[in-house]
Amino acid sequence: MRIDEDACYRALETRDRRFDGRFFTGVRSTGIYCRPICPARTPRRERCVFFPSAAAAQEAGYRPCLRCRPEASPGTPAWLGTSALVSRALRLIAEGALDDADAPALAARLGVGERHLRRLFLRHVGASPLAVAQTRRLLFAKKLLDETALSITEVALSSGFSSVRRFNDAIRAAYERSPRELRKAVSKRGGGGAGGAPDIALRLPFRPPLDWGALAGFLGARAIPGVESAEPGAYRRTVRVAGGHGVVEVRPEAGEPYLLARLRLPGTEGLIHCAERLRRLFDLGADPDAIASHLGADPRLAPRVLAMPGVRVPGAWDGFELAVRAILGQQVSVRAATQLAGRLVERHGEPLAVRGGLPEGAEGLRFVFPAPEALAAADLTDLGLPRARAATITALAARVASGEVALDASRGLEETVRALCAVPGVGAWTAHYIAMRALREPDAFPATDLGLRRALGGISGADLAAMAEAWRPWRAYAAVLLWTADAQGARPAEREVSDGSLAG
C-alpha cells in the first residue's frame, strides 16, 4: 500500500485526529510505533518510517507505544478500492477466522491460493494474514489489561490466545514487559477496571463524527421485542456466546470518540469476538470523511451529507437474525415486521438465562434469537405469515445450518447476492439489504427500493441503479442517507407503507 510520507509527517506534526488509525509511525531511534496523535515530542523526519497498519509496524520489529496506545485507535479503514479480496479477508480475520485455523484454510474459504493471498496482504496491508491476526490479539489483550480488572488468565483466553504461556511470550516480545508489569503501570496512571464488577466495560473507539441519534432511531424502529431495545441513550440486546447467554449494552459518551459497551456474559472466552460484533453493529470502522467527500460531490446527496455528518450503515449482531428479520419485512410495514419478529421469538426463541441476573435497564429482554437449526425444524405457519414466506425462512435456515449459504465475508457481494437469491422467496432487494447490514458490504444497494426511489422524486429502479453508479463504493451509505430523508419527509401514513423496502 503506497503511503505519502510527507503528508503523514505533516499529520504527525499537527496531531491531526482525522488521520488516527490511517497510518502508524515507527521511530527508528526508539524502536517504537505510535498513532499520529501521540502526545510525545514529534521525532525528526529522518527518524520516522510510516506503516499502513499496526500489523505492518509490528512485523517490522517495532513495539507499541505505551503513551498513545495503538490498541485504542479507531481501527484502520478498510482497504476498499485497493483489493476487495483483502477487505473480505480482513473482515474474516476480525471475526476470528485465524483463531482456530491456519492461513491455507483462510485462503480456501476465500477461494484463492495461500501464496496469492499472502502476496496481496503484503502489497496492501504491509503484513501477512497471520501477522494481522497476531497483532489483533495482542492489541486487544493490551486493551483488556488497561480497561478491565480481568485476571491475566482471563485476558489471555478472552483475546484469543491458545494458552497463557503463548500470551505471556507475545506480550514480552511486543512490550519488553510482562502482563503484570503493564497492568501495574496502568494502575499508577489511574486506569483499569474496578475489581469485582459483574459486567465488563469496554471502550469502542471510532473516527468522528458519528450520528448516534440516527443509528439509535433506525435500530429502535426495527428492534425485535424481547431480544433488543434501542433508545436515545442506550442500545441493549441479548446474545448467545461461549455456550451460554448474555446481555450487552452500548451507550454514547458525550464528547468522546468512543462508545461505552457493558457486557454481562457467561464467561470471558470469546470477548474479542463480542467486541468485533459490536463494532460491526455500529459501523465503527467507517471513515466518515472519505464517505462524505465522495457522496457530497453529487449535488443530489450533498444537502443530505451536510445534514447527517457521520452517517453509518446500521449493522447486525448476527447475520442469520438479520436475514430472517429482512424476510419478515417483505411487503409489510416496519411495525408489522417488528410484531412478527416478536411473535417468532416468543414461540421459538430460547428463554434468556443470564448469570447474575439482568442488568439495570434490561428488564424487557427475555429471549435469545433462535439458531438456524431450530428454525429449520420449526413449524412457522402459525405466526400469521403467508405460507410462502414461512417456507422461505425455513429454507434459508436449513441452508445456513448446512453451510450452503454463508452469512460472512468469505464471498464477494455478487456471489453472496446470487446465493441468497437462490433461496425461494428471496429477491434482489432482500439479498442486497442482508449484504448491506449483516455482511457489511459498503457497496450493496437495493435499487428497487420504494423509499430510495421516492426520496429522489419517484424515479424508476433502473434510473436509480444508473444514478448510483457514481456513488460506488459507498452506495450503502447513500441508501441510508436517502432512507432517512424519505422517512423525515413522508406523511405519517406513508411511513408505514412498504413493498419490501424500509421494513428490513
Nearest Cα to 235, choosing from 210, 260, 255, 207?
260
> What is the Cα–Cα distance from 451 to 327, expressed in whole angstroms?
17
Nearest-10 crossing angle of helices 114-124, 129-147: 60
Q: 157, 268 in Cβ contact below 8 A?
A: yes
Task: In whole angstroms, give the CA distance from residue 381 to residue 392.
Answer: 11
Distance CA(375)–CA(401), nearest Å, equals 10
Cα–Cα distance between 83 and 473 in angstroms, integer? 12
Question: 384 near 356, Cβ under 8 Å?
Answer: no
Rounded to 5 degrees, φ, ψ at 18 are -65, -20
Hey, CA dihedral for 225, 277, 250, 145, is it positive or negative? positive
Secondary structure (3-state) at 146: helix
- Here the cell at position 268 is 470471558
CA distances from 459 to 18, 450, 482, 486 (A): 37, 9, 13, 13
Give the residue numbers annotated as catalytic, written as ranges: 34, 449
Q: Residue 143: which of 105, 102, 192, 99 has the closest Cα?
A: 192
92: phi then psi, degrees, rounded to nearest 5: -65, -40
C-alpha distances out from residue 465 to 386, 413, 468, 471, Å: 30, 16, 5, 10
Tell me the chain's radius of gyration from C-alpha atoms. Answer: 23
φ/ψ bin of 57: left (φ > 0), alpha (ψ from -120 to 50), beta (otherwise):
alpha
Helices and strands, number each (H, E), in the chain: 23, 11
Give the three cell numbers for residue 53. Answer: 497498519
Rounded to whole angstroms, how far apart are CA atoms 490 and 485? 9
| Contact between residue 73 and residue 20 where contact means Cβ atoms under 8 Å apart | yes
The grid cell for 14 is 499537527
Distance CA 429, CA 371 (A): 24
Q: Which residues partner with 493 through β-bridges?
A: none
CA 295 vs CA 85, 170, 210, 292, 411: distances in Å: 24, 42, 16, 5, 26
The residues, ordered by sequence, that sit 6+ positions from 14 with a Cβ below 8 Å of its Cβ are: none
